[in-house]
Amino acid sequence: MKVGVLALQGAVSEHCRALAACGARVKEVRTPAELAKMDGLVMPGGESTTLRHLLRNGGLWEPLLAWEKPILGTCAGAILLGRGSETLGRMAMELDRNAYGRQQESFEADVALEAGEPFPGIFIRAPVIVFTDDNCTPIAWHNGNIVGAVQPPHMALTFHPELTGDRRLHQRWLEMVSR
């Protein structure tokens, strides 16, 4: 099993480290040829409009639209996984970009999961998942808002698990990749 981390912007090395710590073989992905060799792909955060431009300019947008393997999207990556006019639309969910506004650009807060200890959430100009449908299931909550969801084999998180030492969510996505 080999997973890729889209290396166009965001916390690429942190995602690589988290996945490797879970036992996965990890490669940075910048080209369609590299993408084609992967069993799953992480799309890190950054800025979704920029990320979309970089994907288009790098010739990765079309290959990704046709790609059927598992994706983990964090923050801006989650925005591109959801529904919208210019997204990959892989998951039946809608997000509100920059949902916390300028007053609360970045913060750390406990995220409730369905079971177990709360997850240490790091939110950076984070979106919120405002609607889920069909087979898209919420898995993480902060202050009554949905901040994580799965639609197997995809997972969307509005916060940054790669910036913590908690590997539970990377592990959970890798289990979907290996299925």
Question: Which residues would be at the binding site for ligand GLN (CB under 6 A)?
Answer: 45-48, 75-76, 79, 97-98, 124-125
> Are the beta carbons of 27 and 6 closer than 8 angstroms?
no
Cα 32 to Cα 3, 57, 62, 79, distances in angstroms: 14, 12, 9, 21
What is the per-residue DSSP string for 74-113? ETHHHHHHS-STTS---SSEEEETTTTTTTTSEEEEEEEE
Q: How far apart are CA 92 and CA 74, in angstroms?
A: 16
Catalytic residues: 75, 160, 162
Q: In whole angstroms, how close is the CB of 69 to ligand GLN at the nearest point?
A: 22
Q: State both tokens at 176.
A: 């979907």
Burial of 3 (0-12, 13-18, 19+ CB in 10 A): buried
> 98 vs 104, which CB is nearer to ligand GLN?
98
